[in-house]
Amino acid sequence: MKTPPLLLAAGIGFWGWQSNQIILAVLLAVALESPRLFTSRYDFTQKDLNRVSDLSALVCLLMAVYFFVVHRSVRAIFLTVQWLPVVFVPLALTQGYHTAERLNVSGFFMVIRRKYPDGRPSGPFVNFSYPYVALCILGASTANISNQTFYAGLVLLAGIALWPARTVRFAPLLWAAALLAAIFAGYIGHVGLHRLQLLIEDKGMEWFMDSIQQKRDPFRSTTAMGDVGRLKQSNRIVYRVRRTRGVAVPIHLRGASFNTYRNAVWYARKAPFNQALKPVGDGRTWLLSTDQSCNRTIYVAGQLKNGRGSLLLPEGAARLENLPAADVSRNRFGAVRVTGGPERMNYAVCYKAGQSNDGPPDKNDLQVPPAEKKSIDTVIAKWGLLGRSPETAARVIKEKFATEFTYTLDQQGRPADRSPIAAFLTQTQSGHCEYFGTATVLILRVLGIPARYVSGYSVQEIDPWSKDMVVRSRHAHAWAQAYIGGRWVTLDTTPAVWAEYEAERSGIWQPITDLWAWVWFKFTRWINTDHDQAGSVKRYLLWTLLAVLGILGAALFHKKRVTKVPLKASEPEVPERRPGDDSPFYLVQARLASWGFSRACPEPLTDFVARVDRAEPEKRTVLAKLEPLLAWHYRYRFDPEGAPVEEVALFREATLAWLEETVDRDSVKP
């Protein structure tokens, strides 16, 4: 059993190497097997073994120094490990040609040799074939491409090496079945450990992102524009929203607004929180506007870390209710900051849809960085925006972004001579909401329309357990505000398909985690109730119950220890972006949503349009024109052969014509 491990080592050591090294692999394999083929053996002395070992160590040291000098990076370590099987080939050949079955371990370590200066043998004897196999597996693992072929080849070579060593007590079929079981268990363990690593990374990123969002800075917003790779986001629920009758979705909850852009960072200049608000009534009601004619109300529940932070508010917020706080202030951009508030808040916001209480624009709302001016001028000329009215320009910008651009969280590299926005507008035409929001603001400013960048959340998902709206970390959103017609209006130009794109990344465990989040929310809400000192009683009862459970648990633990086996977690696979996501019909869906109709997540578009038709009989004439558009949409969305270019052009023209026919020219719909 000396030469089969060496043959296995030769095969594994060069598995996954480049094709021009295959000849070297074959030569080494032949050299390792030549003792068996030609029955040649040599009686090496201990000094011979020491010289060969020292030679391999010297070559290894020189190789490591060479790789470090040439590469000066972590790649030097991987290259050194990759070439270790070649470096220790002399020792493997010594084992193969030696008359002894094992080698003295003192030949491998100079420290052991110094203890015996007379050169007599010392230490245990080992068969170097098996350590060499492990060394080759380690080297091959750094050289192969990450796919299934490496594991398959390793299994094949292991089976060849183990076949001669099988016991005759069991039938070959039973031995093969055991080998297959071991192969399957090894693969499952490998995949499980890999996915567990990814899960730990995601949970760490989730904690990091949540901590950042809880400390949202109202004066500065650093975007992810220009970053390469996948933008990681969390599925964790951070807020819950209960809406009343008449509130349409999606709901844009604003956290802060910004007016100055520089190097992928937005700043809020000259926007201190100097407008202190005074409570009225019971001390939990705060007036944000002198006009109290609000017609919509939502209830927002979430955490306020250390009782301090910015509130999430819809556009046109006029009054806050059930918000106990020491101080509430706002800035001229409409952002509201709380100090001395509760850890867990559940406040009500009364607002007027389509209304804005933000301060008037100034010169900062028209500034454009010189580095972005050239690419924006190119886009404006291409889209024919010069000379258009502000309402028409805003509508064209929204339509162009929806039909000619795509939403994605995967960002590739960009040329060094272009800014992230320039590459987005003229090259990639693909990005996330920060790209769309920033580009929209800068285009509007070049056209002479004051605009601001807004960050917050888009509320659009219904929790099946509580029937309320939930806001996850991945629902963080960015959009633009445009000053049109003497007021600030919301202009969200991110393609509507982004909500479906994000929902597909939820994973199979989300219903279970959502159920636990809802139960925990109800429990903490019950504990923190403080009416008639009931909250104090509940807390005392809770701590008493926890103490009793702790005593019982400690008694059971000392009685019989049980080892807990952690479950193997799996990371939800991210589906690829589907063809047809840039269908113009999603503009129609957005138009119907602006009428007050929201499409349920599994509801087909045909049923959605039929429901709108039943609720709006006076609009049946224009809704009847959607039938051919729906047929085009489904072919464009699902036909595996794709739709002809001429038909797609007709589809876009017909959709834009329908939108032009149904547009309200007195205002811009969000």
Among the listed residues 100, 91, 101, 86, the one whose alpha carbon sits nearest the alpha carbon of residue 51:
91
d(CA 235, CA 517): 11
CB atoms within 10 A of CB 226: 17
Quick one: tokens of 487?
């007021």
SS3 of residue 267 by DSSP: strand
Of the candidates 278, 254, 280, which has an alpha carbon nearest to the alpha carbon of residue 327? 278
Joined together, the tokens standing for residue 623 give 């809704």
Q: Determine contact, residues 482/489, Cβ cutoff 8 Å.
A: yes
Q: So where are the chain's domains?
A: 3-165, 238-503, 585-662
Q: What is the pLDDT of residue 379?
A: 93
pLDDT of 381 reads: 93
Strands (E), 265-343: 265-267, 275-277, 279-280, 285-287, 296-303, 309-310, 313-314, 317-321, 327-330, 336-339
pLDDT for res 40: 56
164, 194, 217, 400, 654 from 650: Cα distances, Å: 70, 48, 46, 16, 6
**Per-10-residue mean pLDDT, the chain, length 670:** 48 45 49 54 70 82 84 74 79 73 66 55 66 73 61 72 74 85 82 68 52 57 58 75 84 89 86 87 85 86 83 89 89 89 86 84 91 91 92 93 86 70 88 91 94 90 84 87 91 83 67 79 68 48 67 62 49 56 81 80 79 82 83 78 77 85 54
DSSP 490-510: EE--S-TTHHHHHHTTS-TTH
Beta bridge partners of 345: 302
- Nearest residue to 409 via CA among 484, 490, 501: 501
Pairing mode, strands 406-407 and 430-431: parallel
The pLDDT, as a whole number, for residue 604 is 82
Q: Are 333 and 358 in contact (CB under 8 A)?
A: yes
- The whole-angstrom separation of Cα 414 and Cα 419 is 8
Q: Tell me the residue length of the chain.
A: 670
Q: Are the C-beta atoms of residues 477 and 243 closer than 8 Å to each other?
A: no
Question: What is the pLDDT, as a whole number, of residue 17?
Answer: 46
Q: Which amino acid is at 27?
A: L
Contact in structure between 569 and 196 (CB atoms under 8 Å): yes
pLDDT, position 463: 84
Tokens linked to 613: 């038709």
Q: What is the largest CA-CA distance in the chain?
A: 108
Contact 225, 262 (CB under 8 A): no
DSSP secondary structure string for all residues of 13-78: HTTT--GGGHHHHHHHHHHHHHHHHH---B---HHHHHHHHHHHHHHHHHHHHHHHHHH-STHHHH
The structure tokens listed for 387 are 């000379």
Q: DSSP H helical segments within 384-497, as ranges?
A: 390-404, 420-423, 433-446
- DSSP line for 572-622: PP-PPPPTTTT-THHHHHHHHHHTT----TT--HHHHHHHHHHH-GGGHHH
User: What is the model's pLDDT at position 547?
Assistant: 72
Tokens representing 445 are: 């400013």
**The token pair that represents 267 in the structure block:** 């700043």
One-letter amino acid of 168? V
Output the CA angle 150-151-157, nearest 5 degrees: 90
- Amino acid (one-letter) located at 359: G
Tokens of 197: 């690593």
pTM score, whole prediction: 0.52
What are the Cα distances from residue 644, in Å, to 330, 581, 640, 647?
A: 54, 16, 12, 5
List, as own/partner pairs, every contact residues 569-576 make where C-beta atoms lie below 8 angstroms and the sequence separation is at least 24, other chains included.
569/195, 569/196, 569/199, 570/192, 570/195, 570/199, 570/508, 571/195, 571/198, 571/199, 571/202, 571/507, 572/505, 572/506, 572/507, 572/508, 572/509, 574/230, 574/505, 575/504, 575/505
The encoded tokens of residue 329 equal 């202030």
Give which of 399, 425, 404, 579 is closest to 493, Cα–Cα. Answer: 399
Query: Do residues 337 and 330 touch, judged by C-beta distance below 8 A?
Result: yes
Residue 155 φ then ψ, to 5°? -65, -45
Two structure tokens written together for 40 = 């040649």
Count the Cβ atoms, other than its own, within 10 Å of residue 216: 17
Looking up tokens 């009683």 gives 537
Question: Which residues have CB under 8 Å from 262's CB, separation 6+?
Answer: 369
Q: Dihedrals φ, ψ of 451, to 5°? A: -150, 155
Closest CA to 274 of 359, 214, 343: 359
Output the pLDDT for position 622.
Answer: 83
